[in-house]
Amino acid sequence: MTERSENVSLIVERSAIPISTTMKHSPQQIAFNEVARQSIMADISWNNGDY
């Protein structure tokens, strides 16, 4: 495997394809997202996302 193809595979593994999104978020959506994020981070089992 060449160095170039290895770099390409690394990029593909870390990429995301948004399927259902909006052009912009309303203040209410941002607030709900923050509440959900804080709830997850407050979970004692969260361990920085390493379950």
Low-confidence ranges of the chain (pLDDT < 70): 1-14
Q: Domains of the chain: which residue ranges?
A: 22-51
Give the C-alpha separation, 45 to 19, whole Å: 29
**Using an 8 Å Cβ cutoff, are 21 and 15 in contact?**
no
The answer to whether the CB of 3 falls within 8 A of the CB of 9 is no
The pLDDT of residue 18: 81
Residue 38 CA neighbour count, 13 Å, CB half: 6
Q: pTM surpassing 0.85?
A: no
